[in-house]
Chains A and B, each alone.
Chain A
Amino acid sequence: MFSLVKTLFLKDLRLDLRQKFGLGSIFLYVFSAVFIIYLAFGEVDGRTWVTLFWIIVLFASVNAVLKSFVQEDASRRLYYYTLSGPYSVVIAKLLYNCVVVLIIIILSLALFSLTTRYPILSSGYFVLALLLGVLGIAANFTFVSSIASHTRQANTMMMVLSLPVIIPLLLPLIRLSIKSLGPLTWAMVKSDLTMLVAVDLLIIGLLLLLYPFLWRS
């Protein structure tokens, strides 16, 4: 199981590293989005900074995660599935997409902080929110893109299907990030963190439970 997951994970990684435009396009996407915001806003206040940051991360990850599903054709997918099982495939996909979303977040954070500023005061809690957000966003988009990649207009359907269901995750993330603009104590963030962990667990649980019904296609 573990070695299968590792092999499938490395397979995805190698595929993306071999096609240099994969990572390059994500980088360019984030860069142009940040640059447009910089040109349009100039100086942004804390709240706007946080909201724009999450919007960039959200839209960049939607594209990046969907890409990893669409680029596999049906016969290749069938080949992986017969070699391993649904769980190895989905765990490998989830881990790989976590890495992709994490790269997007680091890139956006770096570029956004360079062009505008870094307004976060409680960086510890912010990083915690980021990590929980990575897990939730990756799991949610893995789930939805494995559905959307079979539809006729995969890109549009990905947006239609994923944006309403990402809101239970996104709202506590944005609340927590806005709170971390100022000094924070554990008591102030407890309910948001609990909510985030609960939603993350719910999404990952549903992903593991329902993926076996999606892979036989």
Chain B
Amino acid sequence: MQIQGWWWKWLGVILIFYSLLVGLLVPLGPGITSVSPNTAKHGEVVEIKIEGYNTNFAKEGTKVWLKVKDRAIGADHIQVIDRRNMRASFAMPRSLPSKDTIVNLTLITYTPNDGHSVLPSALFVIGNDLSQQTSDEWKANIISTDMPASFHFPFRNILAETIRNTYYHVVLWFAMMIIFLISMISSVRHIRTGSLDADHKALGYASVGTLLGILGILTGAVWAKNTWGAYWSFDVKQNMSAIAMLIYAAYFILRQSISDPDLAKRFAAVYNIFAFCMLIPLLYIIPRMTDSLHPGSGGNPAFGSEDLDNTMRMVFYPAIIGWILFGCWMSNVTWRYLRIRDRTSP
């Protein structure tokens, strides 16, 4: 069996398998999922129940703090129930280091096995004695010990286990853009040289790009159901990506609707170039200008810098390369099929 240019096809398949295996099997890091009760009054003793995820709360060495800005208080008494549950009691001071009368506190835990875990807005404290702002109670030091070395994906609140979808949803969109770019370049080659292969390539790559786009929308919808609460919440990026799919659907219809085959190829190529150029404002500029639930738009931090840690990078980048290579392989098969079809049927 002869597979032309086999190595990059194998590489693509291996990288996708790697991203599936590692992406699904590596455990999630420890994190705090919930705290109850989540409100308290100032000046009273609060006992809260802390529930962790993948945590190892230990009788020895576990510490809990509540933090506002850069000030913190430590727990007076900690009762570890099991690996995932513990109780901590705090003597809440009458005055809090804030100018508000309702203050939300961040919970930080430390265990020797897991290192630090953080839950923002864990506890709302109602009431604040603004008269005595020089409170001495908020002076606990959060010990900064290095994280124990272990291989896991970071725990993020709300996302939790669904953070793994980064390796599929985000990656599919990356690969789709590259595939569409190759399709556009093939179209440019077709209108410059009139090469028939270039036209078949443009169509093949556009088909596979659309497939990846639809998969990207579907994986995104599943993710959105888990994190935002609905499959489709009319977020600007969701709408724009649906429109992007419409543009390529129009491209496929255009090819069918011109009777003269040479004219159809050239006009489709021109529309493909135009469509790709319109995709850039559609997918990358408009979402940044309006409010969106996606990262990287409407004041949300851009994707990449904070959302990925080194463990995730080790899966994310190989997955992108893998899907691009695999997409190219699929497109290759598609356009060679198109060439054979054109040669055999008059």
- Are A210 and B274 neighbours in the complex by a CB distance under 8 Å? yes
* Residues on the A chain within 8 Å of B277, using CB: 202, 206
| Cross-chain contact of B259 among A152, A167, A202 (Cβ < 8 A) | A152
Contacts of B271 in A (CB 8 A): 147, 161
Residue of B nearest to A213 (CB): B191
CB within 8 Å for A161 and B266 given contacts A191-B289, A210-B274: no
Cα–Cα distance between A165 and B285 once the two chains are bound (Å): 14
Residue B45, interface by CB 8 Å: no
Please determine whether B254 and A151 come into contact, CB atoms closer than 8 angstroms. yes
Known: A191-B289, A210-B274, A213-B270. A199 touches B281 (CB 8 A): yes
Residues of B within 8 A of A164 (CB): 243-244, 246-247, 250, 275, 278
Docked pose: A168 CA to B275 CA in angstroms: 11
How many whole Å from A22's CB to the nearest CB in chain B? 26
Q: Interface 1/0s, chain A 156-198, versus B by CB < 8 A? A: 0100110111011001100000000000000000011001001
Which residue of chain A has its CB nearest to the CB of B259?
A152
Q: How far is the CB of A131 from chain B (nearest CB, A)?
A: 19
Please tell me if the beta carbons of B289 and A165 are within 8 angstroms of each other in the complex: no
With A168-B278, A168-B286, A195-B281 in contact, is A151–B250 under 8 Å at CB?
Answer: no
Within 8 A of A (CB), among B266-296: 266-267, 269-271, 273-275, 277-278, 281-282, 285-286, 289
What is the CA–CA distance of A154 and B311 in the complex, to the nearest angstrom? 53
Is A77 interfacial (CB-CB < 8 Å)? no
Are A206 and B253 in contact (CB-based, < 8 A)?
no
Within 8 A of A (CB), among B198-244: 240, 243-244
Q: How far is the CA of A172 from the CA of B266 in the complex (A)?
A: 31
Q: Check B132 for interface membership: any CB of A closer than 8 A.
A: no
A49 within 8 Å of B by Cβ? no
Interchain CB contact under 8 A, B250 and A210: no
Interface assignment of A112: CB less than 8 Å from any CB of chain B: no
Q: How far is the CA of A27 from the CA of B282 in the complex (A)?
A: 32
Chain A: interface residue total (CB-CB under 8 A)? 27
Nearest CB of A to B164, in Å = 32
In the complex formed, the residue of B with least CB distance to A207 is B274
Could you tell me if A165 and B270 are in contact, using CB atoms closer than 8 angstroms? no
CB-CB nearest in chain B for A217: B263
Q: Smallest CB-CB separation from A157: which chain B residue?
A: B257
Instruction: Given A164-B247, A167-B282, A210-B273, answer yes or no on A152-B258 (Cβ-Cβ < 8 Å).
Output: yes
Query: Closest CB of chain B to A56's CB: distance in Å?
Result: 21
- When distances are taken between beta carbons in the complex, the residues of chain A under 8 Å from B244 are 164
**Is there an interface contact between B254 and A147, defined as CB atoms closer than 8 Å?**
yes
Q: Is A214 an interface residue (CB 8 A)?
A: yes
B246, B270, B282: which contacts A214 (Cβ < 8 A)? B270
Return chain A residues, CB-CB under 8 Å to B266: 213-214, 217
Q: Does A143 contact B (CB under 8 A)?
A: yes
Nearest CB of chain A from residue B119's CB, rounded to whole Å: 36
9 A-B residue pairs with CB within 8 Å: A147-B267, A147-B270, A150-B260, A151-B257, A157-B257, A161-B271, A165-B275, A172-B286, A195-B281
Q: Which residues of A contact B (CB under 8 A)?
A: 143, 147, 150-153, 157, 160-161, 163-165, 167-168, 171-172, 191-192, 195, 198-199, 202, 206, 210, 213-214, 217
The residues of B with any CB-CB pair to A shorter than 8 Å are 191, 240, 243-244, 246-247, 250, 253-254, 257-260, 263, 266-267, 269-271, 273-275, 277-278, 281-282, 285-286, 289
